Amino acid sequence: MINATIARITARGLFGRRRFLLLLPLPLLLVGLAVLARALGAPPAAVAKFVIVNLGFAAVLPVISLIVGTGVLGSEIDDGTLVHVLAKPLPRREIIVSKLAVAVVATAVTVGVPMFVGGLVAGSARLGIGLAVGCVVGAFAYSGLFLALSLLTRRPVLLGLLYVLLWEGLLGKLLGGTRVLSIQQYVTALAARVGDTDLFAGQVSVSVSVVMAIVFTVGGTLLAIDRLRSFSVAGETS
């Protein structure tokens, strides 16, 4: 299912030259702030609320997922180099699955590791593992969504930002019903369950979270494969 060459090219496109520097500041900020807050005597609940939930789950995870998830395919569409990949005798699902795998691994590592450290600092190793698991699940769901988005529209990042800021951020606070379609809530619920903590809690049940995370991942992947099957190469217009 995963083509090693496609995966390698994609990873090089993500991390090549100085581009990995772009992904570095946010995780460093996360770890630095958690360590600093604990060192200056902030209670674990405050670290959990501001650093882990408000910064980690609400900002760092979605933003990194967005940059990576739309970057793996979107940058090739922008460059027009996708044509060279499409011209090879490869099944389209292999292209999508390879790119999705790279996106998931890159996101899970760049966010999961600092979140694990943050959990370790704020509470226990158990909490750290819970946060890391949450981030991995989030990486799958977000990557599936944003990968599909980068094939549905030419402006995937702006639409993704609308989803993260308006849907998850604003509507998630105002209208409770929208939380069922908010990946951030699945991540929070799963992390709280696995981490066995009461420092924060998800607003949706764990079973719903698992099912919906799978729906987002598989649905996004299938949609992306379908869109790539009938992908038409068009020049940059706007």
Which parts of this chain interact with other proteins (CB under 8 A)?
22, 26, 29, 33, 36-37, 40-43, 46-47, 49-51, 54-55, 58-60, 63, 66-67, 70-71, 74-75, 78, 154-158, 160-162, 165-166, 169-170, 237-238
For residue 196, the 8-state DSSP code is T
Nearest distance in Å: CB 110, other proteins = 13
Nearer to other proteins, 93 or 154 (CB): 154
3-class DSSP state of 154 = coil
- Residue 189 tokens read as 């619920």
The token pair that represents 98 in the structure block: 């390879």
* 204 phi/psi in degrees, rounded to 5: -120, 160
Question: Rounded distance, CA 100 to CA 49, Å?
Answer: 30
Q: Extract the tokens encoding 165.
A: 């800021």
Judged by beta carbon, residue 60 or residue 131, the one nearer other proteins is: 60
Report, in Å, the least distance between residue 233 CB and other proteins. Answer: 17
Q: Which amino acid is at 143?
A: S
Nearer to other proteins, 9 or 212 (CB): 9
CB closer to other proteins, 165 vs 210: 165
In sequence order, which ranges of 24-91 are alpha helices (DSSP H)? Answer: 25-39, 44-46, 61-79, 82-86
Give the shortest CB-48-to-other proteins separation in angstroms.
11
Give the nearest distance from C-beta 198 to other proteins in angstroms.
Answer: 18
